[in-house]
Amino acid sequence: MAEGQKKYEKPKNRKGTILRLGTYLMQYWYWVMLALVLTVGSNLLALVGPMLSGYAIDAIDPGIGKVDFPRVFYYAGMMVIFYLFSSILSYILGVLMIYISRKVVYQMREDVFTHLMQLPVGYFDTHQTGDIISRISYDIDTVNTSLANDLVQILTTLITVVGAFSMMLAISPRLILIFAFTVPLSILLTKIITGKTRPLFRLRSRKLGELNGFVEEMISGQKTLKAYHQEERTITKFDGKNEEAVEAYYRAEYYGSVVGPAVNFINNLSLTLVSVFGALLFLSGQMRIGSISSFILYSRKFSGPINEAANIMSELQSALAAAERVFMMIDEPAETADKEDAITLEPVIGDVRLKDVRFGYTKEQCIIRHLNLHAAPGKLVAIVGPTGAGKTTLINLLMRFYDVNDGQILVDNHNICDVTRASLRRAYAMVLQDTWLFEGTVFENIAYGKQGATIEEVTAAAKAAKIHSYIKRLPQGYDTVLTDEGTNISKGQKQLLTIARAMLLDAPMLILDEATSNVDTRTEQQIQQAMRVLMEHKTCFVIAHRLSTIQNADEILVVNHGEIVEQGTHLELMRQEGFYYQMYRAQFE
């Protein structure tokens, strides 16, 4: 805990965070200006009240007990009018700030999500999904609350303090000397405490993000968790992370809550001193009762907002810490932009070549070394090899999710670094081992990659993928709504739907990464036969563990330790009795 806290005590760019929040506000500067006018108006009207109260009190003659009631009623009525208009303006201001904060948060959340779509795949490989979601939801909601409430409070504090100070200075310059001692003391105390709480609020946001990430991971892996009887161990780990999050939350709120009472004590001390010295001035005939009363009311208006501002400093620290996390995500380097002279890859023939490719996810660990490959147009190329040999990494490079460290990848004799990513990825249809379906109808999921697809086209793709008969048995057929990630159908059926989606997409190249691992062998063979017809004249890359499914491939590439150690047809590789032969015997004998 201490180590994590120490890590977050290093200075952060608080000023930069505030300025960036300001840029969002300034997009709606006209509403902000109106809010400023309303704030000034509301607080100035409220500042007239204590002065009118003093005039009403001075209508009483304490010596003979005579009261000028018409004068008292006049000033009392004026107070009601001023306070009423002040309240109306304050209400309008509150509604306006909610509107502004809603606009700002909408834009901020849109900026974050838009940037997420531009981030490289590597970012999502190294960051927890729960932490990303926490920044989009919890952190931005924290900023929203602060903009809607705290910003108005700070503006109110500034105007009220300046106005009350001016009025007190006009009433009695001598009494105001009391605040020359108490105000600096309040400011110093607030600065010291907030300096200690700022890193605590930053740590709180981080721990909550880690907790969300852990929960998301455990919920996604419930079947594996139960299969290995890890419930108790998972609960123990959750308790540890929950304890860290609660402790971080407690420490931030605990030390943040110290500010209010401490400043409140100093303000009450100043009120006591005003009462004592004001009484002495009255006894010496240097001040009237009404002036003392007005001065005390102004002193409350002067010290009250300072106290309230101190109370919301913890909320501001939390908002700034949350905004920092949001801006850190926005500042993450986006996927490398296409070259200015990048060409559009069309029409695509499907001739793919890898020349002396070298790649590693980190500089220290090289996964692919000196890889050379040629996939001729319209050929089915199978890629096999042991786990960790670099098969899926090869797909990541073909799709340009990652860029090679050395060497070249060519499509139709064009270096893929010289073509636009959009046109390159449109050239591929892709089915992964980890299937992904969206919440929506069966029709929408199959037609996901092809806008304007007709029901006839979707049905044809489903028939080819051997999933049409199953779809027809669903309650609403192709209009059946699948729940999040398709949890209301089996894993194998999900995979068939994603294969149908890939079949429907009119792409000249196809990538299958263990795409049939969740279907039975007979269905897999049927799919392979159907795909050979549908994918005629299209270049296909198939990654497979079950070697029986790729025996009819035009070319089999055997990858081991990031290099192609053998290549040829199934019969050719079996005759060589090399690495592929040993893999085949290990599976079937």
pLDDT per residue over 206-227, tens digit each?
888 788 778 877 776 776 676 6
| Percent of the chain whose predicted confidence (pLDDT) is above 90 | 2
| Percent of the chain whose predicted confidence (pLDDT) is above 70 | 88
User: Is pLDDT above 60 for 401?
Assistant: yes
- Interatomic CA distance for residues 252 and 318, integer angstroms: 9
Instruction: Spell out a b/e string for 513-543, using b for 16 or more CB atoms within 10 Å of the CB, else e.
Output: bbbbbbbeeebbeebbebbeebbeebbbbbb
Quickly state the pLDDT bin for 88 (edges 50, 70, 90): very high
Q: Are 359 and 402 in contact (CB under 8 A)?
A: yes
Name the average pLDDT for the chain.
Answer: 79
Tokens of 120: 């490289």
- What's the DSSP call for residue 136? I
- Interatomic CA distance for residues 404 and 356, integer angstroms: 10
- What's the DSSP call for residue 404? -
Quickly state the pLDDT bin for 8 (edges 50, 70, 90): very low
User: In this predicted structure, which of 18-27, 109-118, 314-323, 564-573 has the lowest mean pLDDT?
Assistant: 314-323
Q: Is the peptide bond before 377 cis (omega within 30 degrees of 0)?
A: no
Per-residue pLDDT, 1: 36
Per-residue pLDDT, 332: 87
pLDDT digit string, tens, across residues 57-79: 777 665 555 767 788 788 888 88
Per-residue pLDDT, 62: 59
Comparing 174 with 74, which gets the higher pLDDT?
74
For the segment 544-554, the average pLDDT, to the nearest whole number, is 78
User: Is pLDDT above 80 for 187?
Assistant: no
For the segment 524-545, the average pLDDT, to the nearest whole number, is 72
Tell which residue, 549, 544, 437, 440, has the closest CA to residue 501: 437
For the segment 268-279, the average pLDDT, to the nearest whole number, is 75
Per-residue pLDDT, 519: 64
Q: Are 448 and 530 in contact (CB under 8 A)?
A: no
- Interatomic CA distance for residues 586 and 589, integer angstroms: 6
β-strands 440-441, 481-482 pairing:
antiparallel
Comparing 558 with 289, which gets the higher pLDDT?
558
- Interatomic CA distance for residues 8 and 198, integer angstroms: 9
Per-residue pLDDT, 65: 57
User: Is pLDDT above 90 for 84?
Assistant: yes
Quickly state the pLDDT bin for 410 (edges 50, 70, 90): very high
AA identity, residue 305: P
User: Is pLDDT above 80 for 128?
Assistant: no
Instruction: Return the bridge partners of 482, or none.
Output: 440
For the segment 539-545, the average pLDDT, to the nearest whole number, is 83
Q: Are 297 and 50 in contact (CB under 8 A)?
A: yes
For the segment 80-101, the average pLDDT, to the nearest whole number, is 88
The dihedral through the CA atoms of 237, 241, 244, 246 has a sign that is: negative
Quickly state the pLDDT bin for 321 (edges 50, 70, 90): confident
Per-residue pLDDT, 5: 35
Tell which residue, 108, 319, 329, 327, has the closest CA to residue 201: 319
β-strands 380-384, 555-560 pairing:
parallel
For residue 31, the tally of other CB atoms under 10 A from its CB is 15
Per-residue pLDDT, 11: 30
Q: What is the maximal distance between C-alpha atoms in the chain?
A: 125
What's this model's pTM, rounded to 2 decimal places? 0.66
pLDDT digit string, tens, across residues 439-493: 788 898 888 878 788 899 899 888 888 888 888 888 888 988 887 655 567 777 8
Per-residue pLDDT, 388: 67
- Interatomic CA distance for residues 434 and 396, integer angstroms: 14
Tell which residue, 250, 197, 217, 17, has the closest CA to residue 131: 217
Per-residue pLDDT, 12: 61
Helix residue ranges, H only, 375-441: 391-398, 421-426
For the segment 263-276, the average pLDDT, to the nearest whole number, is 75
Q: Is 13 helix (H, G, I), strand (E, B) or coil?
A: coil
AA identity, residue 315: E
